[in-house]
Structure 1
């Protein structure tokens, strides 16, 4: 792949760490101007700076996707800085506190849904009109294999990720005739800080997660970034309303 996103402007939420940070770098290497949005100021600014130091174009914007004003300003800043918005990787998300449906607290439910689902709705609410102005665009929303199957003990997370798929399909149908493509990306167990928080770095817990996939390993952020890149590029020009699973075979069992 070379210059798959040349002269495109890409917005990445959750761009200061994990999959988002790796994706931001991948998009920049393919010729895109990248806007990274996150609540982690120092980390996000360093990633944007490193992209610029390598000859790319990047800008960090502080944005909390649970605040509609932040989301609106994030998109406005992108367009003011680079003149347009062509692609968005709506990647910001959190894991939820473990506990079954009865044990799940109101606070856990609200936080998980507000970040993982409502945040993506707000992102699209402001991204899509800007894309329409310039003839179309591509949106990739981060779901999960938890959007395809259930994981007992994570009701809020599973509900939020199922919701992302439904929301993505709906938007894809609504704006297909305006050249807006919307897809959901469903990673399996990817070795990021989120997984480290769940396993507490315990070798046995990590091994159990890796063995959940028929390929016998966790995925890497780079593998998910390349998948998001493909969905944002013209290489996937006839793909919309799809939930693409990248999980080492987990949900095929």
Structure 2
């Protein structure tokens, strides 16, 4: 059985050719405790002045937050995904039903632009989220956070189809143990162009993507 086809969690486009796509391509590290439920995604942006491909790593809590914000999105409201660990993509629904897209990837790219998607794009994106969760469901389960003996037990059970029983069980004393994704690194290709009085310019950048662990370490260190 081959790898599942990529799923577009976000796909906004308009008649002018502007587009913003978040394309989930798979699990970060399938079968590895700290990376199995982390999903890899490409953020693809194309406008009259910018073409970019950036990397994004999605945790399950990112998907839950996206679902909640999408459900409550009304004109004047905001929804977004990512942020706090690197790339952040935000959407603001305007009164005229156009969408202001903001992208902030620290030290790499910060931009905003407007897209006028089709009228039922919110419902369409609910369906996209459902599809993503069917293709790559959450499969890492933490059980028994505290035992009566005072020893903290974090039991993590990873089930494959046809596999029975837990594959890992960690016991720790003291504060709860939080699993963080390993260090995802990659490249982001950015092309920018301008058609006002100049020939098209293309700039290719090879950029290192900071991991969740690195960013949290930088924030939490004294």
Please, what TM-score do these two structures have when normalized by structure 1?
0.22
Q: Which has the larger radius of gyration?
A: 2
Q: Which has the higher helix share?
A: 1
- Normalising to structure 2: TM-score of the pair? 0.24
Q: Which has the higher strand share?
A: 2
